[in-house]
Amino acid sequence: MALADLPAAGTWTNWVGNQSFTPARFARPSSSEEVAALVGEAAAQGMGVRVVGAGHSFTPVVQTDGLLLDLSALAGVVDADPVRKRARARAGTPIHGFYEPLWEHGLALRNQGDIDDQHIAGAVATATHGSGIGNSCFSGVVRGVSLVTPEGSIRHIGEDEPRLLRAAQVSVGTLGVMTELEIEVAEAYRLSEQVDVWPWQEVMDRWDELVHGHRHFGFFWMPSEESAALYNIEGHGAMTDRCYVKIYDEATPDQPDSAEPGRRTDRCYRIYPMVYDPNFHELEYFVPLERGPEALGAMRELMLASLPDSVYPLEVRTVGPDDAFLSPNYKTATTVISVSGTPGTDYWDYLRSVDALLAQFAARVHWGKLHFLDSERLHALYPEAGEFIAVRREIDPEGVFLNDHLRPLLA
């Protein structure tokens, strides 16, 4: 496969429709060798290269006027080791593609979020996460990667190169094209679910117990009666100023499986996912765990004063620490605050107000969600940002894997 043989590229649009562009070339390679050949040729011609996964990022992270690579044909779990608790998978493997292959070996993902269509490489590159302070985001369990570098070679980075691995764990695709990765996994486990609707104040009063006493805890707070239906969680009576609370704990062997709504018990991967419509644009910021209640109280007041722009539920979770250079959870457990806007409306003043408020709490950002991060804030909030940029320059000195969105931050 050569660049000259590729068909004309069409317009690419992401999952929710807020990002569109037309690359010069588009390819769907099915092997690492094809990726390497395409990247080497594109770089030699001075073209930028970006990679698209499932298109679940709200920011223009995959935008390019050069070569766009779709790795959906480079998918599948290639090895699962129950002794070492490790799994290797190709970069285009969707999160749900791990479920059965791992379970067959008595294994499971250590943690995951409530959407499972993302490709694992994209989820890792942007520090996508689940909930619970006892587990890190996806990036925190990466133990090795294979990267195609600008010269078209395949570079393997493992635990014997900790500096490079900590850069590769959250790279937003700027170190190269990830073609395979190794992650730490867990013994297979089942989850028992508790879903209830509680008043806001009850959740705040029980914050420490809920955060520290359960494997997973998160909730959606509803600013109005219209909020719940937007995330398909209606049917629970009056919802204004109430919280849809989700608590998951590991089921004991004597607990039978159950399909009772709100009280299910089943394999972990059958409990985690939720169904969302692509009807929102999301901003997601991470504040230090201990500052969570204060930040959430301020967010509640802002959202009540910002209706109807703030009609979407406020999603709240917690995540454990890791040591990836660009991770929003770098060296600290965090409270994750997710805020959405309505497509087709001018909600930017509201989101800028959210940004200004959460900036007071030293909020870091989700790399795949809307944010207002600039270079000054990057270096103030991410202590190892300079080290990441140094690694990026070593591996990709010409910036082949940068784009207009990322260059001001990471060049």
- Write out pLDDT tens, residues 373-396: 999 999 999 999 999 999 999 999
pLDDT in tens, the chain (411 residues): 788 778 778 999 999 988 999 999 999 999 999 999 999 999 999 999 999 999 989 999 999 999 999 999 999 999 999 999 999 999 999 999 999 999 999 999 999 999 999 999 999 999 999 999 999 999 999 999 999 999 999 999 999 999 999 999 999 999 999 999 999 999 999 999 999 999 999 999 999 999 999 999 999 999 999 999 999 998 888 999 999 999 999 999 999 999 999 999 999 999 999 888 888 899 999 999 999 999 999 999 999 999 999 999 999 999 999 999 999 999 999 999 999 988 888 899 999 999 999 999 999 999 999 999 999 999 999 999 999 999 999 999 999 999 999 999 999
Q: Give the pLDDT confidence score for residue 6 in this predicted structure.
A: 84
Largest CA distance in the chain: 63
Q: Are 57 and 14 in contact (CB under 8 A)?
A: yes
**pLDDT given at position 335:** 98
* Residues 396 and 42 sit within 8 Å (Cβ to Cβ): no
Fold annotation for 77-187: 3.30.465
pLDDT digits (tens, 9 = 90+) for 202-233: 999 999 999 999 999 999 999 999 999 999 99
| Rounded CA separation 248/190 (Å) | 10
70, 114, 179, 184, 391 from 108: Cα distances, Å: 26, 15, 21, 10, 32
**What pLDDT was estimated at residue 234?**
85
Beta-carbon count within 10 A of 159 CB: 10
* Amino acid 90: pLDDT: 98
Q: Which pLDDT belongs to residue 36?
A: 96
Report the relative pairing of strands 281-288 and 265-267 from DSSP bridges: unpaired
- Lookup: tokens for 378: 């990057």
Q: What is the pTM of this model?
A: 0.95
Question: What's the CATH number for 190-375?
Answer: 3.30.70.2520
Give the fold, CATH level 3, of 22-70: 3.30.43
pLDDT for 198 equals: 97
CATH 3.30.465.10 boundaries in the chain = 77-187
* Share in percent of the chain as helix, strand, coil (round to 5): 25, 25, 45
Could you give the residue range(s) of every CATH 3.30.43.10 domain in the chain?
A: 22-70
What ranges make up the beta strands (E) of 233-332? 242-250, 265-267, 281-288, 314-319
Bridge partners of 248?
193, 216
